[in-house]
Amino acid sequence: MLRLIARPVLFALLLALSACGGQQVADCSVVKVATLPLRMDDGLPLVRVSLNGTPTWFVADSGAARSVLTETARKRLRLPEDQGHLTQTTGVGGTTTAWDARVDDLTIGGVRVPIQRMAVGNFRIGRDSDLDPAGLLGADVLLAFDLDLDLAKRTLTLYRPRMCPEGGPPWEVAAVRIPGVARHNDRLVLPVQLDGAEGMAVLDTGAQDSVVGSRLAERMGLTSAATAGDPIVGQHGAGPDPVEGRRHRFLRLAVGSTVMHEPELTILPSDGVIGDGVIGQDFMKGRRLWLSFASKQVFIAAPHTETLVAAR
C-alpha cells in the first residue's frame, strides 16, 4: 500500500489516447498485448519484468500510485541514484525521502515502458534474497493497460485500454460488475458495505489483508474503547515502520454484490494513506478480476465466497 508525490503519467495517457485511434468514438475492440505468469509469494502476486536487461520480480500493486524500488534492490541491481530527482514516498509505516534510481529500460510483456527513473523506498518485501521482489509495479505502469488478473490460474493478461463504459471483460464465464467505481490518485476506489456502513475502499492487489480505516470504524461506533478487547496485530506497508491495529471480526463485507462473510479485518488508527479502507488479497483469493483504469471498471468472477448476482 503506497501513496506518492508522483510526476505526470505521460506513458499511460498516450496509450489510453491511442486506444481510440484519434477517432471521435471509443474503439471498443479487444486487443491482447501479452499474458504473463504470476508467482504468488506470501499472498502477493508477483510479475516478471525486465529492468535494464535483468529479469526481475515486482509486486503487481494496484494500490501504489507509482512504481517504486526497495533500496536493497536498487543496490543489488546496481542502479545509480538520480540526484536530480528526490521523491517522498508515503505508505503504511511512515514516509521516506530518497533519490530516484536511474532506469535505462523497463519492459513488461514485451512492451517497453519509456521511463528514465524510478522512486526508491525504505521498506522490505520478503527476506531480501535474490528471489525477493525488487519493488512495487504501480499504477504509472499498470493503468496503461486493461488487466485480466486470474489468481486461480496465476496469470496476468494485459490488454490495450478501452474507453468503453459498457465494455466488459472478454470472458466466457459470468462476471459481476462492481458499480460506482471511481479513480482517485490513479487508484481504483470501490464502494463497500461493512456491516451496513458504507464507504469507499482502495482496490489494492499489493495488500495481503483488507484493512478498515479509523473514520469508517468510528462511523460504525467502533471507537478505541469499543475495540479495546480485540487483539493487537502489526501491519507492514511501503513505509519504514510497522503499524499496530486492532483485529476485529465483522459480520459481512460486501463489494458490489459479492460478499465475504465474517471477515477478520484490521482497524488502523489513522486514515492518512488508506481512507475508508483497503480491499486486499484476502478478499481476492481464488478470484478472477478485470481492472480497467481507463474506463473505471472492475469485474469479479470465480468468487470464493458468495455471489448474489451474476451479470455481464
What's the rounded Cα separation, in Å, for the pair 147 and 303? Answer: 17
Find out whether 84 and 23 touch, Cβ atoms under 8 Å: no
Q: Which three cell numbers stand for residue 299?
A: 469485474
Q: Alpha carbon of 153 to those of 43, 150, 268, 292: distances in Å?
A: 14, 6, 32, 20
**CA end-to-end span of the chain:** 30
Per residue of the chain (312 residues), give pLDDT as tens: 443 433 434 444 444 444 444 444 457 888 999 999 999 988 889 999 999 999 999 999 999 888 999 988 999 999 999 888 877 766 555 566 778 999 999 999 999 988 889 999 887 776 656 668 999 999 889 989 999 999 989 999 999 998 887 778 998 888 889 999 999 888 899 999 999 999 999 999 999 899 999 889 989 999 888 888 999 886 665 555 667 889 999 999 999 888 999 999 999 876 556 779 999 999 988 789 999 999 999 999 855 444 433 333
Cα dihedral value 258, 264, 269, 273, nearest 10: -40
What's the rounded Cα separation, in Å, for the pair 255 and 177? Answer: 10
> Among 84, 62, 70, which Cα is nearest to 3's?
62
Task: Give every CB contact of residue 226 below 8 A, 6+ residues apart in sequence.
Answer: none
Judging by beta carbons within 10 Å of its beta carbon (0-12, 13-18, 19+), is residue 95 exposed, middle or buried?
middle
Cell numbers 502477493 label which residue? 44
